[in-house]
Amino acid sequence: MRTKLLASLCLLGGVTGIAVTYDRSLASDHDDGEHANKERALNLTDHFAFRSPADPTKLSLVMYFNPRSLPGRQYNMATNARYEFHVSKIGANTAAATGKDDWVFRFEAGAPNAAGAQSIKLTVLKDVGGTLTEMGSHMGMSTTYGASHANTVVDNTMSNVGGVDVRWFVGQRADSFTFDVVRFFQVRNFLATRFFGKGANQGDASATLANNCRGDQFAGLTGGENGTPDHDVLNLWNPPECAPDFTKGLNVSAIVLNIPISQLGGTIFDTWSTISVAQ
């Protein structure tokens, strides 16, 4: 989503390379799982971009990874990976996305110390004459789980590196994503059966759907609301008051970056996150 002055929110996910020596794969969901070649720390979930509520003159970029992190446990960045924010300057809200890197903010982590904190190098890269050029770097530290839980975070700051001043944080936070995953699959299976259950684009009119969490039956196109209005005559979904959230009580790892908008050389941007691993 793109709006003027960065009042925007982008949701992208994946493990993406930016050079021929880095592994490349793509995804766009909150949690695309783990396998032998992609550990949890390489599972990129959500990307957010918005004007900072504390200071609207600054752009806030947020990257989530390590989904489904259990409470009370320390999770870290992968030490063989690059975690990157990409910023592309755009001329107008209606202009096509270019995918061009005008700025890249790259985070690379060292091994955790005894407390679980990692040393982190932030490198700022900028397009100079068509070449992505390193403008400078800064060393900082991540925030441990215990410090994040106590909200005593490590606030890393970097001034005038390639003309950019940044503040950044790396650590665990409560997962802000909300999703009723069980009902989603119930509804998906019901709709697939109802519209395509008999094959050859023929639906199965006998398909049924379990009552929602409040006990409302699937009402059909002309049914009622079982005496409880919720403005959803079909009762496909669970109402907010009882819908279970599969991320409740779980954490994610977050990289948060604040940058003055005026230093980026524009007012409209496309932004995205990538995690890449050397091969």
Looking at residue 261, its pLDDT comes to 94
Looking at residue 226, its pLDDT comes to 53
CA–CA separation, 18 vs 136, rounded Å? Answer: 19
pLDDT tens per residue across span 228-274: 555 556 678 888 888 887 778 778 888 999 999 999 988 899 999 99
Span 91-120, average pLDDT: 91
The torsion of the CA quartet 266, 267, 270, 271, rounded to 10 degrees, works out to 90
pLDDT tens per residue across span 72-88: 888 889 999 999 999 99
Span 52-59, average pLDDT: 92
Note the pTM of the prediction, 2 decimals: 0.76
Helix, strand, coil % (nearest 5) of the chain? Answer: 10, 35, 55
Instruction: Mark out the alpha helices in the chain (DSSP H runs).
Output: 145-149, 181-196
pLDDT tens per residue across span 142-193: 988 888 888 888 899 989 887 899 999 998 887 877 788 888 899 999 889 8
Q: What 3-state class would DSSP assign to 191?
A: helix
Going by pLDDT thresholds of 50, 70 and 90, the confidence category of residue 106 is very high
Looking at residue 12, its pLDDT comes to 34
